[in-house]
């Protein structure tokens, strides 16, 4: 039975989408993002792999806090800002949700510096409690390409499209036997 996603629930603090090319990750992220914007939410969108190209339709929309983050230096600075935002929010009661959409997480993690990676892990670990919600997508769900174990451990809601093999599906979902490797696109 369909129901509205409630990011206030601990299990929904962050969302991770994975699957091979053309499995619908970005489309799913965009549907979530449009729904959030339509309901008055605030978003930050990262697309360093395609330099913002896939997310151009979102430019200038109400609720977008910043133009689409399309470069690694800009992404690094924004992630450091978000980690510091946790401290600001801990000292006051303003927990207006901000949804952080990161398309092609692997590209960001491959090129970003250690401070940015640590900041992303901090947002994953503590951000949900203070209204900072990650919506991540990557086509490479291998553990070593997802950043820190802490980052992966704190992403409890996972959606997996078609992947190449059962190991990739298990890495992405945290459980074996999902059958994601057998999906038809």
Tokens 């129901």 correspond to what residue? 3
Tokens 């395609």 correspond to what residue? 50
Q: What integer pLDDT is reported at residue 1 of this predicted model? A: 46
Q: DSSP string of 43-87? A: EEEE-TTTTTGGGGGGTT-TTB-SS-B-SHHHHHHHHHHHHHHHH
Q: What integer pLDDT is reported at residue 143 of this predicted model? A: 52
Count CB-CB contacts under 10 A for residue 10.
Answer: 9
pLDDT digits (tens, 9 = 90+) for 91-110: 887 678 889 998 888 888 88
Q: Which one of 20-24, 61-65, 124-128, 170-174 scores highest in mean pLDDT?
A: 61-65
Provide mean pLDDT across the span 63-67.
Answer: 89
Number of Cα atoms under 13 Å in the Cβ half of residue 169: 15
Enter the DSSP assignment of 162. Answer: -
Helix axes 72-90, 114-126, angle to 10 degrees: 40
Round to whole Å and give the CA distance between 34 and 62.
Answer: 11
Provide mean pLDDT across the span 7-15.
Answer: 62
Provide mean pLDDT across the span 108-124.
Answer: 86
* The dihedral formed by the CA atoms of 102, 108, 112 and 117, expressed in degrees to the nearest 10: 50
Q: What integer pLDDT is reported at residue 75 of this predicted model? A: 92
- Band of residue 72 on the pLDDT scale cut at 50, 70, 90: very high
Residues 32 and 9 sit within 8 Å (Cβ to Cβ): no
Phi, psi for residue 148 in degrees, rounded to 5: -70, 155
- Band of residue 67 on the pLDDT scale cut at 50, 70, 90: very high
Round to whole Å and give the CA distance between 178 and 158.
Answer: 12
pLDDT digits (tens, 9 = 90+) for 131-180: 889 888 887 655 555 556 666 667 777 776 667 777 766 666 666 666 66
């Amino acid at each position: 039975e369909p129901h509205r996603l409630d990011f206030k629930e601990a299990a929904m603090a962050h969302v991770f989408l994975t699957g091979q090319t053309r499995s619908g990750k970005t489309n799913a992220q965009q549907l979530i993002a449009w729904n959030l914007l339509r309901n008055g939410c605030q978003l930050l969108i990262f697309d360093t792999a395609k330099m913002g190209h896939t997310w151009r339709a979102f430019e200038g929309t109400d609720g977008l806090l910043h133009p689409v983050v399309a470069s690694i230096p800009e992404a690094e600075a924004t992630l450091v800002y978000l980690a510091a935002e946790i401290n600001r929010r801990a000292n006051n009661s303003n927990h207006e949700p901000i949804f952080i959409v990161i398309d092609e997480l692997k590209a960001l993690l491959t090129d970003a510096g250690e401070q940015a990676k640590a900041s992303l892990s901090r947002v994953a670990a503590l951000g949900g409690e203070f209204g900072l919600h990650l919506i991540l997508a990557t086509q490479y769900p291998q553990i070593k390409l997802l950043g820190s174990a802490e980052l992966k451990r704190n992403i409890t809601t996972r959606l997996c499209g078609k992947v190449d093999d059962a190991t990739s599906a298990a890495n992405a979902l945290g459980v074996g036997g999902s059958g994601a490797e057998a999906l038809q696109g």
